[in-house]
Amino acid sequence: MFFPILHINILTKPHMKKLFTIVMLLGSVQLFAQGQLQKEASGNISYTSDHVMQLAEAIPAEKYSWAPEEGVRSVAGVLAHIITLNYFFGSKLGGTVPEGINMMSIEKDLTEKEEITAALKQSYEMLITAVQKAKDESLSEKVEYPFPGEYTNMSSILIAMSHTNEHLGQLIAYARMNGITPPWSMAEHGGGE
């Protein structure tokens, strides 16, 4: 006890001012960083989900059963898969899956364009809200996944971001293979390629 008190008493006023400035600076940086991952990740997911939704709307209903080959998910299957995983990751972060949703059978239950696009929008809203509400102190909490490895709430956010980007790319390829230009691409190029 004697040494810390002696050490503080040895500090001069200029040293105390510098120490105070450093402590205040570190405190403000920490406050700034509070929720930063959640803000950036939810922004990324919002941006990507907007593009996924635009594609879901642009692809005609009769193309929802289209798949590039046998044994590969159809357009409807990819969108239903996104819905399932949005609910999965969102629930890991404390979000509530809406009543009546059976995550184990979404890909079988949802087949029509209207019901898929409505569920897709709802699942993204749930996921984004769950990411935004995740507390910094909960990010390192362990989460159980149905596949090997160690995961945390931060993993859920990062994988959700990666997952939605991965399937956006897949849907762009599906759309292009069917002669459909992504709506945002047409807008960027004045209505054409």
Q: Confidence band (pLDDT; 50, 70, 90) for 187? A: low
Residue 42, C-beta contacts closer than 8 angstroms, at least 6 positions apart: 128, 131, 132
CA angle 40–96–56, rounded 5-degree value: 65
pLDDT for the residue numbered 32: 47
Percent of the chain at pLDDT > 70 equals 79
Question: What are the start-end ranges of the H helices in 59-152?
Answer: 75-92, 106-109, 113-133
What is the C-alpha to C-alpha distance for residues 104 and 90, in angstroms, rounded to an integer? Answer: 15
Average pLDDT, the chain: 86
pLDDT in tens, 74-98: 999 999 999 999 999 999 999 999 9
- CA-CA distances (angstroms) from residue 44 to 55, 87, 116? 17, 17, 22
Evaluate if pTM is beyond 0.95: no
Closest to 143 in 3D by CA, of 105, 102, 95: 95
The number of helices, as runs of H, and strands, as runs of E, in the chain is: 8, 2
What is the C-alpha to C-alpha distance for residues 92 and 134, in angstroms, rounded to an integer? Answer: 10
pLDDT in tens, 163-179: 999 999 999 999 999 99
